[in-house]
A and B are shown apart, each in its own frame.
Chain A
Amino acid sequence: MERITIGKLAEMTGISADTLRYYEKMKLIGADRTEAGYRIYSSDTVGVVRFILGAKALNFTLEEIRVLLTLESSDKASCAQVLKRTESKIAEAETKIQELKEVKKVLSRLVKECPADNTPTACCPILDHIKGAAKVAMASFIFILAAGTAQAKPISYVGGTMVMQENDETGHTFALDYTVTPKLAVGLYAKKEAGGDDFYTVGPQVNTLIKRWNLPDGQGNIFNMTGAGITHDGNDNEASVWTGFLADYETRRVFISYEPRFMYAGDIDKSFWQRARVGVAPYLANYDDLNTWLMVQVDHHPTKDDNVVVTPLVRFFYKTTLIEAGYSSNDHVMFNWQLQF
């Protein structure tokens, strides 16, 4: 079998070498290495890349294309499985068509309203409409923030309840936990993923304290958060399970945490991501004071385009209310809140 270099493969498919490396990282194509460390591909890879391009033209995402490639190379896979995914794309396309029809309708109405003469732009109905739409968008944004899980600790005190919501570049997360024992909390977890209008996971979750170190000037913890439920994406529903660990250590001055998470939702989602945080308190606040923390959060999603996202944030808490706000390196606002009662 003929072996080709990345340059040759790029030339044969019209795809840049960077994109080919990304496809490899996404496990869409495989590459061997020469003794000198250069990537080398089998000539079959040309067909795989063309398959990827064909599927992209039909609006399949890279994650979906990976599933299609698995189905295509599997002896046990059936046409019905491919059909199921295709029908889901049709539903997406129909939604987009409806949205575009609405856009066209509004644009046509605005064109009719336009005086089409020398009227100053201060009276332009089209510009007025856009300004009004911006206000509605801002109001919706504020509503989402207000409706809004910032998890200081996934277990509080025995008999205590926590409600939390996180809004960040990964989506919107909601959690409600009731602490049963010093080492166990049970609750509900729900997350609407970013990048999909209709992609969410919901189910019960159990939080356990694996180990705690109570020191005179600090506290360290290792928690596990495990849940099971339903993940919905478009017309697809899959049973899902997820688990994650949270290791943290804090004093009154510094904070550090690390959180790996795993999700399995059949064909919809199989992912791993990890989060780390470091923080410093600019002043030593006591129990009855407003506490302020300056933090940096780093998220690593190995399968995403922006696989490392850095979010500087500020955390405030006073008594039983905690609020966090930040802005990520990929231009997303973060707003988290948590209440304890």
Chain B
Amino acid sequence: MKKLLLASVLFFALSGAAHAETIKATVNGMVCAFCATGIEKSFTALPEVDHVKVDLEEKLVTINMKQGQTLDDDHVEKVITDAGYSTNGIVREKNDEPTK
């Protein structure tokens, strides 16, 4: 029984070291902060998304995903299009920090 308990603890500890993904989308037309709030609101409404940062200077939307969650490129592009803009490129980064 003790061995089973130890194996369970080790399993959950190892599976907790999942990667949190960051998606960066370059957006065209994003010049007005008031109008760009739609991008932030639309992404933060998604359960997979942890938080969003909008940067007008870099024309960049940075989407930090929750651990183990992701959004495919089509989904990212649809959210940005529904908010009134167009994407000019999507890149992904994996953060290797384990889950606390």
Query: Beta-carbon contacts of B20-40 to A below 8 Å, as 1s and 0s?
Result: 000000011111111111110
CB contacts (< 8 Å) of A157 on chain B: these are: 38-39, 41-42, 82-84
The answer to whether B56 and A160 have CB atoms under 8 Å apart is no
The answer to whether A216 and B38 have CB atoms under 8 Å apart is no
A165 to chain B, nearest CB (A): 16
The answer to whether A219 and B32 have CB atoms under 8 Å apart is yes
With the chains together, A287 CA to B41 CA distance in Å?
Answer: 13
CB contacts (< 8 Å) of B84 on chain A: these are: 153, 155-157, 182, 212
Residue among A182, A218, A287, A319 making CB contact with B82, cutoff 8 Å = A182
With the chains together, A70 CA to B55 CA distance in Å?
Answer: 59
A159 to chain B, nearest CB (A): 7
Q: B32 — nearest CB in chain A belongs to which residue? A: A250
The answer to whether A285 and B34 have CB atoms under 8 Å apart is no
With the chains together, A182 CA to B38 CA distance in Å?
Answer: 11
Q: When A155-B84, A159-B42 are in contact, do A218 and B37 touch as well, CB less than 8 Å?
A: no
SS class, residues of chain B in contact with chain A: mixed
Q: B67: CB under 8 A from chain A?
A: no
Q: A108: CB under 8 A from chain B?
A: no
SS class, residues of chain A in contact with chain B: loop
With the chains together, A217 CA to B57 CA distance in Å?
Answer: 10
CB contacts (< 8 Å) of A319 on chain B: these are: 33-34, 37
Query: Beta-carbon contacts of A204-223 to B below 8 Å, as 1s and 0s?
Result: 00000000111111110000
Count: A-B pairs, CB below 8 Å: 85
A224 to chain B, nearest CB (A): 16
Q: A61: CB under 8 A from chain B?
A: no
The answer to whether A219 and B31 have CB atoms under 8 Å apart is yes
Chain A interface size, under 10 / 10 to 19 / 20 to 34 / 35 or more:
20 to 34
Q: When A157-B82, A158-B82 are in contact, do A291 and B34 touch as well, CB less than 8 Å?
A: yes
List CB contacts (< 8 Å) of A175-224 with chain B.
181-182, 212-219
Query: Beta-carbon contacts of A316-341 to B below 8 Å, as 1s and 0s?
Result: 01011010000000000000000010
Q: When A156-B38, A156-B84, A157-B42 are in contact, do A251 and B31 touch as well, CB less than 8 Å?
A: yes
With the chains together, A250 CA to B30 CA distance in Å?
Answer: 10
Q: B81: CB under 8 A from chain A?
A: yes
A257 to chain B, nearest CB (A): 12
List CB contacts (< 8 Å) of B35-93 with chain A.
35-39, 41-42, 45, 54-57, 59, 81-86, 88
Q: When A214-B86, A216-B88, A287-B55 are in contact, do A160 and B41 touch as well, CB less than 8 Å?
A: yes
Q: A252: CB under 8 A from chain B?
A: yes
CB contacts (< 8 Å) of A287 on chain B: these are: 33, 36, 54-56
Q: B59 — nearest CB in chain A belongs to which residue? A: A216
CB contacts (< 8 Å) of B45 on chain A: these are: 159
The answer to whether B35 and A152 have CB atoms under 8 Å apart is yes
Residue among B33, B42, B85 making CB contact with A214, cutoff 8 Å = B85
Q: When A155-B84, A158-B82, A252-B56 are in contact, do A212 and B29 touch as well, CB less than 8 Å?
A: yes
CB contacts (< 8 Å) of B38 on chain A: these are: 156-157, 160, 340
B100 to chain A, nearest CB (A): 26
The answer to whether A215 and B28 have CB atoms under 8 Å apart is yes
With the chains together, A320 CA to B39 CA distance in Å?
Answer: 12
Q: When A214-B29, A252-B56, A286-B55 are in contact, do A317 and B34 touch as well, CB less than 8 Å?
A: yes
6 A-B contact pairs sorted by A residue (CB < 8 Å) = A160-B38, A214-B86, A215-B28, A251-B31, A285-B56, A287-B33
Contacts A157-B38, A217-B31, A317-B33 supplied; 7 other A-B pairs, CB < 8 Å: A152-B34, A152-B35, A212-B84, A214-B27, A215-B28, A286-B33, A320-B34
Interface residues of B (CB under 8 A from A): 27-39, 41-42, 45, 54-57, 59, 81-86, 88
Interface residues of A (CB under 8 A from B): 152-153, 155-160, 181-182, 212-219, 250-252, 284-289, 291, 317, 319-320, 322, 340
